[in-house]
Amino acid sequence: MCPQANVSEVVLGGNGKGAVQLEKLLDASPRRTIGGYLDERISSPHKMTGNETNYLLRACDYNANLDENIYFIAGDPSLEIQAEAINQIAGQTLPSTSWANVHQWLKDILSAIAKKYDNAVFFIDCNPSFSAYTELAIIASDRLIVPCSADGSSARAISNIGQLIYGINVPAAYAAVSFSKRAKDNGLSLPTIHVVPLNRSTQYEQKASKAFSAMYDAIKARTNQLYQKDKSIFSSARSVFLDIPDAHSVSVVTSHLGLPLHKIKLGKYKIHSKDTQVPKDSLDRYKTAFADLVSRL
C-alpha cells in the first residue's frame, strides 16, 4: 500500500530486475497490482467482485531466491491518483454504509486470500503518510509495526499516529469527522501498536551510541505519553521498543539482489559494477536483532 512500490521491486528480484518485472505487471490488462484491484472496487464499491485472489502472486515465480510460501500483491504508483476516487466514494451519503464499505476494500481481499490459504499471515507495507489508501491498510490490520529512525520527525510521527489513527488530542472542531470516530461509528476495529523498532542505530558494544540514544529517548517518551493516554491502543503492557542496528552493506545486498536475510553469506557481492563486502559482525548483529523482532510478532 505504498505508491513507491519499493518492497515490490525487491521481492520481484531486486533493484533493476525488479523494476522491469513491476513494469510488466503495471502494463498488464488488468494490472496485476493493488491498483488493478482498486480499479475493480471503484467500479464495484459496495460488494466484492469475486476476482480478489487473482491479484495474488507467488514470489518465487519472479524471484527464485525466495521461498515457495511467500505470496504478495504488487504495489502501484496509481494509488496516489486513486486516493481521490476513494475519498469521493467513501463520502457519499447513500448507501449509508459507504464509508465502511470503501474502507474495507483491502480487508475484503485479505479475507478472500485467507479462505484460500490456511494460517496466512499478512504484512502490509505503508509509506509515512495518512492518505485514503493508508486508511484502508489500517482498517485491514490487527497490529502496527512502527519503525522509527533517530530523528525528530520520527518522534513527531509517534504523536501523529496517536492523533490520526486513535483520535488522541484531535482538535475539537475536527473530532466528529476524525478517522477514529468514523471507524468507531461504523463498527470497524483499529489495530494496536505492537512493536516500535528503533531503526539503523549506530552501536558501540551492542548499545546505541549516545547521539542515537538521545533521539530514541524522545521517541520513547512520546510513545509512553500515548500509553498513559490510552493503554488499549497497545497490544500489551510490555516494552514495545527494539533496537535494530544499522545493517550497512547487508541491507544494500538484500534490496539490490532480492535476497532474503537467511540466504546472505559472508563475502563479496556485485552491486552494479562494484564489489560489496558483507562483514561478519554486521551480519551477525543484524540477524540477531531481526530474530528478536520476529519473535515478538
List the chain domain ranges.
1-138
Residue 20 pLDDT? 95
Beta-carbon contacts of residue 15 (< 8 Å; ≥ 6 apart): 9, 255, 256
Among the ranges given (138-142, 195-199, 231-235, 246-250), the one the predictor scored with the smallest mean pLDDT: 246-250
Question: Higher-confidence residue: 198 or 248?
Answer: 198
47-80 pLDDT, tens digit each = 999 999 999 999 999 999 999 999 999 999 999 9
Q: Which three cell numbers stand for residue 86?
A: 476513494
- Say how far apart CA 170 and CA 205 lie, in whole Å: 42
179-226 pLDDT, tens digit each = 999 999 999 999 999 999 998 655 544 555 566 778 889 999 999 999
- Say how far apart CA 101 and CA 99 lie, in whole Å: 6
Residue 204 pLDDT? 46
110-167 pLDDT, tens digit each = 999 999 999 999 999 999 899 999 999 999 999 999 999 877 788 899 999 999 999 9
Give Cα separations from 187 to 70, 95, 102, 190, 291 (angstroms).
Answer: 32, 16, 14, 10, 36
Give Dmax (Cα) for the chain: 61
Residue 121 · residue 85 · CB < 8 Å: no
In terms of phi and psi (left: phi > 0; alpha: psi -120 to 50; beta: otherwise), the region of 267 is left
- Say how far apart CA 278 and CA 276 lie, in whole Å: 7
Which pTM does this prediction carry?
0.92
